[in-house]
Amino acid sequence: MRIGILGSGLMGGKLGTIFARAGHDVTFSYARTRQKLTRLAHQAQGNARAGTPADAARDADALLLAVHWSRIEDVLAQTGDLSGKLILTCSLPMNEANTALVIAHTSSGAEVLARKLPKARVVSAFNTVPSEVLFGVFESRANPPRPSLVYCGDDAPAKAIAAQLIRDSGFDPVDSGPLHIARYTEPFALLIAQLAYETGAGPELAYRFERFVS
């Protein structure tokens, strides 16, 4: 699959590397320096390159949007037309200080994004795990049980691709329903961040849902 990374920081840099190592063709874009993108592409040790957001979007089967909420407009202004594209967003609608959601309860960042891009197919995923756990989960992918990863969206084919990328990253995808369920998954991400960063137990945290059937 051809995957464009829009935002090559903690999440985009690591997930792009994982996607490349899983055999996908990855273009890293949107960092403050071109050298950072080139280094990521080199270190990914797969089929990866550095490019502009327009390069990342061109011919992409999926785009990972991984920027701070305040950078969304800026990066989207550089991609060109995203009609029909699958946008996998891990971006949370956080305030500048990263202390609170600026959209919640009656909407979600994912829904606001989908309204900005009515012709794109938005799936919310990867926002409920800290970046620090991503390589560990990927490296443990052959050792079940896998951790869960919730995702949601309104377009079934787009969700099937998202589920495949979640699987390729070492997680067990959990279909949580339509995009408006991001109203629940985005605050859940803040619970995970609380457990990862505020308990002293370390940020390498993932979660797993189990159903007990009697």
Ligand X SMILES: NC(=O)c1ccc[n+]([C@@H]2O[C@H](COP(=O)([O-])OP(=O)(O)OC[C@H]3O[C@@H](n4cnc5c(N)ncnc54)[C@H](OP(=O)(O)O)[C@@H]3O)[C@@H](O)[C@H]2O)c1
* Residues making contact with ligand X (CB under 6 A): 7-12, 30-33, 36, 66-69, 71, 90-92, 94, 127, 130-131, 189
**Rounded Cα–Cα distance for residues 137 and 147 (Å):** 8
Taking the least distance from each CB to ligand X, the nearer of 83 and 100 is 100
For the bound state, the minimum distance from the C-beta of residue 127 to ligand X, rounded and expressed in Å, comes to 4
Taking the least distance from each CB to ligand X, the nearer of 82 and 128 is 128
Token pair of 168 as six digits = 């390729």
**Rounded Cα–Cα distance for residues 14 and 7 (Å):** 11
Indicate the residue whose CB is closest to ligand X: 9
For the bound state, the minimum distance from the C-beta of residue 96 to ligand X, rounded and expressed in Å, comes to 12
Taking the least distance from each CB to ligand X, the nearer of 115 and 156 is 115
Taking the least distance from each CB to ligand X, the nearer of 9 and 144 is 9
Taking the least distance from each CB to ligand X, the nearer of 7 and 173 is 7
For the bound state, the minimum distance from the C-beta of residue 173 to ligand X, rounded and expressed in Å, comes to 16
In this structure, which amino acid lies at residue 89? T
For the bound state, the minimum distance from the C-beta of residue 74 to ligand X, rounded and expressed in Å, comes to 6
Taking the least distance from each CB to ligand X, the nearer of 67 and 123 is 67
Q: DSSP string spanning the chain?
A: -EEEEE--SHHHHHHHHHHHHTT-EEEEE--S-HHHHHHHHHHT-SEEEE--HHHHHTT-SEEEE-S-GGGHHHHHTTT---TT-EEEE----B-TTSSSBSS-SS--HHHHHHHHSTTSEEEE-STTS-GGGHHHHHHTTTSSSPPEEEEEES-HHHHHHHHHHHHHTT-EEEE--SGGGHHHHHHHHHHHHHHHHSSSS-S---B-------
For the bound state, the minimum distance from the C-beta of residue 143 to ligand X, rounded and expressed in Å, comes to 23
For the bound state, the minimum distance from the C-beta of residue 214 to ligand X, rounded and expressed in Å, comes to 35
Contact 128, 192 (CB under 8 A): yes
